Structure 1
Amino acid sequence: MKVNLSPAESENLEQLAYEYLLKQEYDQAISLYEQAIKNSPQQKSSYWYLGLLFLLAGKEEEANTTWLCGMIDGEDEEIERWTAELVQVLDSEAVRLSALGEDSLVWLLREHLRQVMPTHINNLLLLVQLAIKQENLAAEDLTNWGVISVLQDAVPVGVDKNLLMQTLQQIFDFAPLHPLTLEFAGACVEHLKENNDFSLLLMLMAGKIHYSMSRPDLAISLVNICLKIDENYGEFWAHLCSYLIGNQNYIEAIKAAKRCYDVSENLIDKIYGNHQLIRALMSAGGYWDEACLALQEQESLLLSLIENPPPFLNNLTASRLLSACFFFPYFFDAPQQYRVLQNQVARLCQSYLEDYVGEVAKEYQPASRKNKSLKASAKVLKLGYISHCFNSHSVGWLARSLFKEHDRKRFELYGYFLTYKPKKEPVQEWYEKQMDHVRKIEGNNSLEIAQQIVEDEIDILIDLDSLTLDTTCEVMSFKPAPVQVSWLGWDASGLPTIDYYIADCYVLPDSAQEYYTEKIWRLPDSYIAVDGFEVGLPTLRREDLEIPTDAVVYFTGQSGYKRHRETAKLQLKIIKAVPNSYLLIKGLAEAESIRNFFTQLAEEEGVSADRLRFLPLVPSEEIHRANLALADVVLDTFPYNGATTTLETLWVGVPLVTRVGQQFAARNSYTMMMNVGVTEGIAWTDEEYVEWGIRLGKDRELRKEICWKLWQSRKTSPLWNGKKFTCEMERAYEEMWQRYLEG
């Protein structure tokens, strides 16, 4: 017989049943809910909880049948309300079980909740998070579950924006390179565009994906999402320019840089925007006139900055200012002028960064001098090497001999791998094995990096990046080590916190100290040495390029940065003067603009364009070196010489013509040639450059003589003696430390 219970009695019965549910005594709870339904069939909550209990007890069919029975007699509006009640029951229980760590049951509940209400966006997001936690999320689930489509449709009611941000971060961490991750991020725009943390997250991930994962195409797409939020924010355009250059989309990079400059509102941002423009133009190559105008603008902006420095803005703008003078040595050889300007900018940046430390990190302390009581010989020196180039990069290739030969009884090596690449990267893996301690750094929080160096108690910190990475400059400005040194990566930054700059007597003469704030530390022979290079099998022959076997082949191979118009003219004068000669042109740049650049100059110099050959990039450095055998003579660039390319040329035994100047970048090839004992091809004027080019092209016997000298130099030259070079570097480190102790 049916028993009609009062509301209070019915509520007590459900309360008792729910207590059994909490104790996981499902059979008792099921029995009580069934009794509640029998006594009060109009009480819909009993159906929802009874179905829930069946589900928890592993009886999914019974659960679905129970829920269906609860809704079968309702009108549309009632069914909509009851569905919302059921969703609330399932969601509340999922939250409760999640707190207990019952992930398998939570998964079961949220999966059924998704079936009951496929558009419940918060449930879908929690389901994604749970799948990531269990490491069983397939990226396709984002579409199969309708997560992206729900976000793309009309704004879902009740979307938890904090939950959405959290889910986006987890998806980025779980599958950063999957196309659907990008699509998910795009679907979040309408919901998170007012949240500054959203665009910040996108920009941080774009940087990580570009620099650590080598996918500039995806980084570009992320920045384009940010531009949907604010197309007038210069920071977005600046990053877009960088990633477009990384993806070799030079024409679009120029457009992005111009846009960055146009939307910049203050002097410092204008300087950075113009720097990006110069960078894009020089990377493309061939935009010489436009690049010269941009450089003039940069000089004017920097002089205004020095005369009326604005108040400190933030550490990002301060560190970026350091690279504002980066391109001057690519245009002209006048270190007395641009290095003075560089040093002034560096001092200003140093003061800005000191203000930054004072504002946000009062607990940070630069490296102490507690080891001063120790004699240099009484301790193993801790050397910290910091760089983003411990990989397949010119610096990565050139520094190997030093790390291979370091004396581990006297030196303990710490490696600070900036923009660390989590994927397998052979050169990076090699460097990791050489270090006693590896610090894998994917972010760009310079103060945290500096603090790590302080905690590691590094004695001498060696910077291999200089102005090529602003994060490194920031770290060095915080003075996290008692002795700080710059070596190899670029010319000196001018930061007051850097004590020494490694050079030699050829690459920087004595007079150079007048315009360097760092103490120039000259090694006895060369500031660089390698034990050699791996050389593969050639992939090009003369017949492939339609060049006669008896022709004289000249080669010039540099990035667009180094394509100086006046030097290119000198090279074409050489081609014009040497009958049956050809010029091979290779380097990272925009193909059409470089072709137009050289073709136009050839026409001006009266050289047929048929004598020019534009070579594509090859898959590896080993193949590039093998293909150098095509050349009879390599023509160096000026005022910015080759470095790695010069070493490779000398190693494979090809004569080189180089023009020597005053600045470090204009004397790289000079020091290398002096250290292999070859003076033939060293020019001190433009006229000598052309004369040597013509002479080496016409004098086959002289070329053979130089080639023989180069091959013989492998046995005796300090340039090819990594062990000797390492001993000289180690002796320098010990003397630096001794001076510090005595200071």
Structure 2
Amino acid sequence: MNWKPEAQKFLLENNYDQLTNFYEQAIAEEPDQITHYWYLGLAYLLQNKEEVAQTTWLLAMAGQDQQVEQWTEELVQILDQEAVRQENTNSHTKSWLIRQYIREFAPNNLNNLLLLIKIAIALGEFTPQLLNDWQVIENLQQHQHIDLDLLLQIIKQVLEFPSSEALAFTEACLPYYSENPVTLTDNLMLVAVKIASETLNPKYGANIAEFCLKLRPEYAEPLRHLSYFYSNAGEYQKGIETAKNFLNNCITNAWKVQGSTLLLRALFVAGGWLEAEPVMQQHKSLVLDLVKNPPDDLHPIAASYLIPANYYLPAFEDQPEEYHHLQNLLAQLFQKVVQAGSQELVNLPWKNPQEKNRKLKIGYIAHTLRSHSVGWLSRWIFKYYNHELFETHLYLIHQSLEDNGWIGAEVDGISNFGSEPEQIAAKIKADQIDILVDLDSITLDITCTVMALKPAPVQVTWLGWDASGIPAVDYFLADSYVLPENAQDYYRATIWRLPTTYVAVDGFEVAVPTLRRDDLGIPADAVIYFSAQHGHKRHPDTTRLQMQIIKQVPNSYFLIKGRSDEATIKQFFTKIAESEGVDPSRLIYLPRDINEYVHRANLGIADIVLDTYPYNGATTTLETLWMGVPLVTRVGKQFAARNSYTFLMNAGVTEGIAWTDAEYVEWGVKLGLDSSLRQQVAWKLRQSRQTSPLWNAQQFTMELEKAYQQMWERYIESR
């Protein structure tokens, strides 16, 4: 700016009183020099004398209609330059004030409006309504010359405020990137994934991804995520159709595996089992062909999309040998590609002290430590861990600190990340974590990538799912029941069997129930069977067994609850019920409860819970047992088919454990007809709260910590 040298000195020293005096004197000496008034008004504004500043500027322009436009432009330039200077010194409040006056003089100055948004966000003053108040969208539609780097920055920031205004703003920005859309679409997808994951707002994430397809119809990434977003938002049919579209456009086998995985997920989440069965058969062939003939040019990101390819296979059939054979081969290919793309990080040596008897650093990595099954089950070890012997760190993916207020105060370190596996792995290595525990397994590709990079000397999988098969993972935590004796024959990771149970909790918080029999039209003397599972766990064969139980127990009803497409799941159950001779009116569909606490309370309406097979309940089973409700479960060979079995055994209850389909029906009918037997089981479950290792998280934590110490000793000895 054309400040006088003396004035420049006062400005840089923030000596606004002297600056004001200087220009008052300048005007007295040169009253016709119009720029003196602009600088004097700005000096007043910097002193927060807004009315005096306005008066100074307006009086200078009074009666000069022909020159007002030129003078306004000069004033705006002067104000803009000072606003930039204030921003560069992090004086956001001053910059905010100046830019508000620029908006008064030049309301259509789009760059100024964008900078105002940026400052408002920095000051915590931004609301999406400001986009309307300032007519930002209308100005964008005039296609003004604009700083595209600034615009991209503002788009990403505004989208962090989920709203219709933010979406309208983003849509108005799309034409500015029509000639070079890649940078915008890549950034939009990162925002979409973050928003959908961290704020649990998949519908909003879908809206953002749809913008990417408008600019780049051939861009595969939005389609892949859109199927997830639609399904998670309850728009199941759109999720299925998007997955089909994705698969139909896949050319290479690697992409086809990814596409069929996507379609299986969309179908299973909706409850569309009948359509899913032929897709599963084709999918298995694609995976087998991929691992036998791996491509030479598989990109690490593409490889990460393949690691969950077998997630739904255990829901389809109980064949752990076949599943783990495929998963181990897939995970080996995945790790090879991931490590090849990050050699510098992989080759960086661990600096952990090679000592046996010292305080160990245990790291836990997860995207599930919120209101999620993994969070509910793992939180107890953070409450009870031995601070003298262990230092515990959390590495959280797509979660805010607010999500983990119940856990953050109980650990020594907590780090939050987005989709940056190399950054996460580097942090773990820098923190010198001795034992890294994966709580996600194959439920998240980012976690798998981190584990494949081997950032810790000893790596363990626990809770999230079955073993991932990644060679860099050393151990898989289990107990004597949840895996059969011969499981090590097909597991790549060493199975570490804990002495009692592989998971324990002190209990579950329970709210006030909202379900009553009379509200549902169920007689007081009726027998109520209950099932609350996601659609992918409802295997048709097991559903037929459940219908056979209902048929054989007079005056019985079956309550069905879980996330799935309402129309699809009703059609699914109705068809099977009618084929088994059960009146569909005996099936009652319940909406999902508002939270876990109410769900647990409402379990009290059930006389018997019928478990799913070959994919049992896990947290849902623990909640059932905690509430003292008898459970019927079918035991299989695989991890997913033995969770309820191990929980019942560790609770000291054998009633309801079935080893065949016939036994499953037999137990279901027996418990339905014999009320005294149900009471005995309920009494055992209540007593188990005081005696069972299943409900003793403190003892379990001690057993887990002993396992960590032994793992570390083995590692030191192997060195």
Q: Deviations over 1:213-242 (max 9, x none)?
A: 222232222112222212332210111222
Question: 2:498 maps to which residue?
Answer: 523
Would the alpha carbon gap of residues 68 and 275 (structure 1) be closer, same or farther in structure 2, given more than 3 Å must change? farther
Question: 2:411 maps to which residue?
Answer: 435
Question: 1:148 maps to which residue?
Answer: 137
User: Does residue 346 of structure 1 match 2:331?
Assistant: yes
User: Does residue 489 of structure 1 match 2:468?
Assistant: no
Question: 2:675 maps to which residue?
Answer: 700
Would the alpha carbon gap of residues 97 and 490 (structure 1) be closer, same or farther in structure 2, given more than 3 Å must change? closer
Question: Which of 149, 162, 166 matches 2:149?
Answer: 162
User: What is the alpha-carbon distance in structure 2 between the residues aligned to residue 236 and residue 576 of structure 1?
Assistant: 46
Would the alpha carbon gap of residues 605 and 126 (structure 1) be closer, same or farther in structure 2, given more than 3 Å must change? same
User: What is the alpha-carbon distance in structure 1 between the residues aligned to residue 605 and residue 638 of structure 2?
Assistant: 31
User: Does residue 66 of structure 1 match 2:66?
Assistant: no
Which residues of 2 match residues 296-695 of structure 1 at below 5 A? Answer: 296-358=281-343, 362=344, 365=347, 368=350, 370-372=352-354, 374-375=355-356, 378-423=357-402, 425=403, 428-439=404-415, 441-695=416-670
Question: Which of 146, 169, 185 matches 1:199?
Answer: 185
Q: Which moved more, 1:258-267 or 1:627-636?
A: 258-267
Question: 1:181 maps to which residue?
Answer: 166
Would the alpha carbon gap of residues 615 and 450 (structure 1) be closer, same or farther in structure 2, given more than 3 Å must change? same
Question: 2:217 maps to which residue?
Answer: 231
User: What is the alpha-carbon distance in structure 1 between the residues aligned to residue 120 and residue 505 of structure 2?
Assistant: 50
Question: 2:14 maps to which residue?
Answer: none
Aligned partner of 1:47: which letter? Answer: I
User: What is the alpha-carbon distance in structure 1 between the residues aligned to residue 256 and residue 380 of structure 2?
Assistant: 41
Contact 1:487-1:501 within 8 A present in 2 as well: yes
User: What is the alpha-carbon distance in structure 1 between the residues aligned to residue 590 and residue 472 of structure 2?
Assistant: 43
Would the alpha carbon gap of residues 238 and 102 (structure 1) be closer, same or farther in structure 2, given more than 3 Å must change? closer
SS at 1:501 equivalent: strand
Deviation at 1:301, TM superposition (A): 1.8
Aligned partner of 1:678: which letter? Answer: V
- Identity across aligned pairs (percent)? 45
Deviation at 1:209, TM superposition (A): 1.7
User: Does residue 56 of structure 1 match 2:43?
Assistant: yes
User: What is the alpha-carbon distance in structure 2 between the residues aligned to residue 354 and residue 612 of structure 1?
Assistant: 51
User: What is the alpha-carbon distance in structure 1 between the residues aligned to residue 4 and residue 442 of structure 2?
Assistant: 66
Contact 1:20-1:26 within 8 A present in 2 as well: no
Question: 2:175 maps to which residue?
Answer: 190
User: What is the alpha-carbon distance in structure 2 between the residues aligned to residue 182 and residue 92 of structure 1?
Assistant: 31
Deviation at 1:100, TM superposition (A): 5.9
SS at 1:188 equivalent: helix
Q: Which moved more, 1:259-268 or 1:633-642?
A: 259-268
Q: Which moved more, 1:532-541 or 1:323-332?
A: 532-541
Aligned partner of 1:371: which letter? Answer: P
Q: Deviations over 1:28-60 (max 9, x none)?
A: 55665787785xxxxxxx535543434434432
User: What is the alpha-carbon distance in structure 2 between the residues aligned to residue 105 and residue 534 of structure 1?
Assistant: 49
Would the alpha carbon gap of residues 227 and 28 (structure 1) be closer, same or farther in structure 2, given more than 3 Å must change? same
Question: 2:47 maps to which residue?
Answer: none
User: What is the alpha-carbon distance in structure 2 between the residues aligned to residue 515 and residue 255 of structure 1?
Assistant: 36
SS at 1:132 equivalent: helix
TM-score by length of 1: 0.89
User: What is the alpha-carbon distance in structure 2 between the residues aligned to residue 93 and residue 728 of structure 1?
Assistant: 64
How many residues are paired up?
A: 702
User: What is the alpha-carbon distance in structure 2 between the residues aligned to residue 36 and residue 255 of structure 1?
Assistant: 74
SS at 1:303 equivalent: helix
Deviation at 1:345, TM superposition (A): 0.3
Deviation at 1:289, TM superposition (A): 1.9
Deviation at 1:326, TM superposition (A): 0.7
Question: 1:4 maps to which residue?
Answer: none
Aligned partner of 1:545: which letter? Answer: L
User: What is the alpha-carbon distance in structure 1 between the residues aligned to residue 124 and residue 574 of structure 2?
Assistant: 56
Q: Deviations over 1:119-157 (max 9, x none)?
A: 221122223333334443443322222222101x2311x
Question: 1:91 maps to which residue?
Answer: 80
Q: Deviations over 1:334-382 (max 9, x none)?
A: 1111210010000000001011102xxx25545526533x22xx20111
Contact 2:529-2:556 within 8 A present in 1 as well: yes
Aligned partner of 2:58: which letter? Answer: N
Contact 2:40-2:56 within 8 A present in 1 as well: no
TM-score by length of 2: 0.92
SS at 2:470 equivalent: coil
Contact 1:21-1:53 within 8 A present in 2 as well: no
User: What is the alpha-carbon distance in structure 1 between the residues aligned to residue 123 and residue 351 of structure 2?
Assistant: 49
SS at 1:164 equivalent: helix
SS at 2:497 equivalent: strand
Q: Which moved more, 1:134-143 or 1:712-721?
A: 134-143
User: What is the alpha-carbon distance in structure 2 between the residues aligned to residue 722 and residue 28 of structure 1?
Assistant: 74
SS at 2:150 equivalent: helix
User: What is the alpha-carbon distance in structure 1 between the residues aligned to residue 675 and residue 96 of structure 2?
Assistant: 78
Q: Deviations over 1:291-323 (max 9, x none)?
A: 112212221221221122113443322222110
Would the alpha carbon gap of residues 483 and 101 (structure 1) be closer, same or farther in structure 2, given more than 3 Å must change? closer
Question: Which of 127, 134, 137 matches 2:116?
Answer: 127
Q: Which moved more, 1:470-479 or 1:537-546?
A: 537-546
Instruction: Give the alignment's Cα RMSD to 1 decimal.
Output: 2.4
Unaligned runs of 5+ in 2: 11-18, 45-51
Q: Deviations over 1:541-568 (max 9, x none)?
A: 2222211222222112211110101110
User: What is the alpha-carbon distance in structure 2 between the residues aligned to residue 352 and residue 412 of structure 1?
Assistant: 32
Deviation at 1:573, TM superposition (A): 0.9
User: What is the alpha-carbon distance in structure 1 between the residues aligned to residue 434 and residue 507 of structure 2?
Assistant: 30
Contact 1:336-1:515 within 8 A present in 2 as well: yes
SS at 1:657 equivalent: strand
Q: Which moved more, 1:555-564 or 1:409-418?
A: 409-418
Which residues of 2 match residues 256-275 of structure 1 at below 5 A? Answer: 256-275=242-261
Contact 2:365-2:396 within 8 A present in 1 as well: yes
Q: Deviations over 1:493-540 (max 9, x none)?
A: 000000000111211122111111000111122212222222333221
User: What is the alpha-carbon distance in structure 1 between the residues aligned to residue 393 and residue 115 of structure 2?
Assistant: 41
Q: Which moved more, 1:710-719 or 1:133-142?
A: 133-142
Aligned partner of 1:561: which letter? Answer: H
Q: Which moved more, 1:55-64 or 1:586-595?
A: 55-64
Q: Deviations over 1:599-632 (max 9, x none)?
A: 1111111110111111121123222222222222
Q: Which moved more, 1:362-371 or 1:190-199?
A: 362-371
User: What is the alpha-carbon distance in structure 2 between the residues aligned to residue 105 and residue 626 of structure 1?
Assistant: 54
State the structure with more CA Rg. Answer: 1
Contact 1:234-1:261 within 8 A present in 2 as well: no
Contact 2:352-2:432 within 8 A present in 1 as well: no
Deviation at 1:259, TM superposition (A): 2.2
Contact 1:248-1:590 within 8 A present in 2 as well: yes
Question: 2:688 maps to which residue?
Answer: 713
User: What is the alpha-carbon distance in structure 2 between the residues aligned to residue 493 and residue 102 of structure 1?
Assistant: 50
User: What is the alpha-carbon distance in structure 2 between the residues aligned to residue 569 and residue 100 of structure 1?
Assistant: 70
SS at 1:616 equivalent: coil
